[in-house]
Amino acid sequence: MNLQILQNPLLRLTVAPELGASVVGLELYEQGFWLPVLRPTSPAALVQRHSPDTSSYLLAPYSNRIRDGRFQFAGRTYQLRPNWIDGRQTIHGEVHGRAWKAQRFNEHVLQCEFDARAFQKLNFPFPFTVQVQYKLLENGVEVLTTLQNVGAGPMPAGFGHHPYFMRHLNNSGEARLSFEAERVYLTDATCIPTRPAEAIPPQLDFSQPRALGTAALDHVFAGWTGVLHLEWPGSGWRLELRADRIYSHLVVFTAPDGSVALEPVTHATNGFNLLAQGWSDTGVQVLEPGGSISGRIRLTLSKGQ
């Protein structure tokens, strides 16, 4: 598999265009060692072409789950093929396991493109394109994502990113997470909302920095301000993630492997159906023919005294 590496004295970003333009490594250089900021991608995940086991992968033209793989839009019902282990749900879009075209603009900029029209039996009823540009900065990474409707009619749309962050940086204490949001969706056993987002209870309040501990989280926060922080006590390192306003929702998922997924997404889980049911503030966009949406995410690493 052809991997693209963007590197400077502080950071090394590795991307696999042939595997959904997924990030397969983001590492920080300190005292002669490359330390993983995102969980490392195993060779097996690359060989098996299993993008959910990468360091971070793209979610488009929708994020998270669609209940039973079925959604309504503009008076019609669409049935997608289940792609989740329960054999019922459809999850995380249609681009992360597929090959993208890649172009290097220079040693620090990589652009990847996906055109749904080039694939047969795509598991989505509307044609679309996605473009993602990775730019390595002096002390961070910038990711610009654009989704376009290339069909003859309107389509529901959204996208997101699914990065898995390390909860320990070398020998640091457990990372402390902080962010602000207005509400949270409470879900059923399938992790799908059953009622509109509501006030955030104390156990899910991260407005002040705190460790995740033993909490098992898989929650979607609405009204996210677009900023979050991770700090690794004892290491001096701190990460800021700052996202454009289109990323109105944030998913926090404590993964079984010990990492934590902090996912900037444009809409709520099962958003297409929630929109059809008249729920407000789902974040789902309706793109007219030729219409597009874009969003930028910036990760910045800094070290205090």
Q: Which residues pair with 34 in a beta bridge?
A: 29
Instruction: State how far the Cα of 52 lies from the Cα of 36, in Å rounded to an integer.
Output: 17
Classify 74 as helix, strand or coil.
coil
Which SS3 state, helix, strand or coil, does residue 13 take? strand
- Written as tens digits, the pLDDT of the chain (305 aa) is 899 999 999 999 999 999 999 999 999 999 899 999 999 999 999 999 999 999 999 999 999 999 999 999 999 999 999 988 777 889 999 999 899 999 999 999 999 999 999 998 899 999 999 999 999 999 999 999 999 999 999 999 999 999 999 999 988 999 999 999 999 998 888 888 888 899 999 999 999 999 999 999 999 999 999 999 999 999 999 999 999 999 999 999 999 999 999 999 999 999 999 999 998 899 999 999 999 999 999 999 999 85
Query: In 3D, which of 269, 270, 266, 268 has the Cα closest to residue 287?
Result: 266
Angle at 101 between CA 149 and CA 49, to 5 degrees: 100
What is the Cα 189 distance to its own chain's centre?
22
Question: Going by CATH, does the domain composed of 4-303 fall within 2.70.98.10?
Answer: yes
What is the model's pTM?
0.96
